[in-house]
């Protein structure tokens, strides 16, 4: 879809990484954007960046923590106040947590990952879907991960919550397509964002760039993904061009999740 003119799109985790890349992509296509993040400073900078390149865009920022139900109700209300409807919802905010074997994982961190990645995504759908039902249309893109379709060493809560995102996506798709609300998820591989840069620091604190290069070598494309590449897939799934695609968990990983054995 070449234009998102008069389309109201809500993006969580919009201050950086995948959320910001999609916000920029949709701003160029004239969407009305509600950008949600709990990092107020980064959110302000993100808005400035977007307005610098797309000065005409209608944009609302909301400081909210997706793991708090009241905050979620508030960002939905603010999007409706600003733009009167929600056509597309990019339910993207998430964290990795720390990397540690299952039996050593800190319980507090485990619970935090569940609160943000699982409950945050659930609250988002819980309060956005009724608005889309009233409208008789809507598109939701949840963010799983290759960790939502495969195991990933030392990331038990991340993998558990991203599998949950895939599951909730399938259920929402079954329950609300009859109302014109289509729900899909993306499953990105390693896309170079601040979160992934941080993960490489945990893998090799002395030389994160070496960890990154080693990871890229395993990918059929021999490189990591770019946030802009994810943005164009998300834009399609949020648009009216997305017809009859529902309940899918779409890998965007250069084909890496298909490898079995050495490649
Ligand atoms: P990132 O850390 O670069 O950006 C995430 C943004 O979400 C940040 O602005 C952060 O402040 C915000 N955020 C985190 N928790 C929040 C909360 N509770 N409430 C509101 N905002 C919150 O991460 P990213 O790489 O852009 O990841 C975005 C999503 O994509 C996450 O769900 C992540 O699990 C998923 N993902 C990323 C990759 C990748 O390679 N980058 C791969 C698979 C899945």
> 105-129 burial, b if ≥16 CB within 10 A, otherwise e?
beeeebebbbbbbbbbbbbbbebbb
Provide the pLDDT for residue 2.
74
Is the CB of residue 39 below 6 angstroms from any atom belonging to ligand 1?
Answer: yes
Q: How far is the CA of 14 from the centre of ligand 1 (A)?
A: 8
Provide the pLDDT for residue 114.
98
Provide the pLDDT for residue 1.
63
In angstroms, rounded to a whole number, what is the distance separating the alpha carbons of residues 210 and 220?
Answer: 18
Which atom of ligand 1 is found nearest the CA of 96?
Answer: 34
* Domain extent listing, the chain: 8-189+226-252, 192-224
What average pLDDT score do residues 15-31 get?
98
In angstroms, rounded to a whole number, what is the distance separating the alpha carbons of residues 25 and 42?
Answer: 18
Mean pLDDT of the chain: 97
Q: Retrieve residue 41's tokens.
A: 């400073």
Q: How far is the CA of 125 from the centre of ligand 1 (A)?
A: 17
Q: What percent of the chain has pLDDT over 70?
A: 100
Provide the pLDDT for residue 133.
98
| CATH architecture assigned to 8-189+226-252 | 3-Layer(aba) Sandwich (3.40)
In angstroms, rounded to a whole number, what is the distance separating the alpha carbons of residues 256 and 252?
Answer: 9
What average pLDDT score do residues 87-105 get?
97
Is the CB of residue 41 below 6 angstroms from any atom belonging to ligand 1?
Answer: no
Is the CB of residue 191 below 6 angstroms from any atom belonging to ligand 1?
Answer: yes
What average pLDDT score do residues 207-228 get?
96
């Amino acid at each position: 879809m070449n234009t998102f003119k008069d389309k109201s799109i809500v993006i969580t985790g919009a201050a950086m990484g995948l959320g910001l890349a999609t916000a920029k992509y949709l701003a160029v296509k004239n969407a009305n954007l509600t950008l949600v993040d709990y990092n107020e400073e980064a959110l302000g900078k993100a808005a400035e960046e977007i307005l610098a390149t797309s000065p005409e865009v209608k944009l609302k920022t909301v400081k909210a923590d997706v793991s708090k139900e009241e905050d979620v109700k508030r960002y939905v209300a603010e999007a409706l106040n600003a733009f009167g409807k929600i056509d597309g919802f990019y339910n993207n905010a998430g964290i990795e947590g720390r990397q540690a074997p299952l039996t050593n994982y800190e319980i507090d961190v485990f619970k935090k990952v569940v609160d943000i990645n699982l409950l945050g995504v659930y609250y988002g759908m819980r309060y956005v879907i009724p608005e889309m039902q009233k409208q008789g249309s809507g598109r939701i893109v949840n963010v799983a991960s290759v960790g939502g379709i495969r195991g990933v060493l030392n990331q038990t809560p991340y993998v558990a919550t991203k599998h949950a995102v895939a599951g909730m996506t399938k259920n929402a798709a079954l329950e609300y397509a009859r109302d014109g609300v289509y729900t899909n998820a993306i499953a990105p591989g390693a896309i170079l964002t601040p979160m992934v840069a941080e993960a490489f620091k945990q893998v090799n604190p002395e030389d994160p760039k070496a960890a990154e290069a080693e990871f890229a070598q395993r990918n059929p494309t021999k490189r990591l993904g770019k946030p802009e590449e994810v943005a164009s897939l998300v834009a399609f799934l949020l648009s009216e061009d997305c017809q009859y695609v529902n309940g899918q968990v779409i890998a965007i990983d250069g084909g890496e999740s298909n490898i079995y054995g050495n490649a």
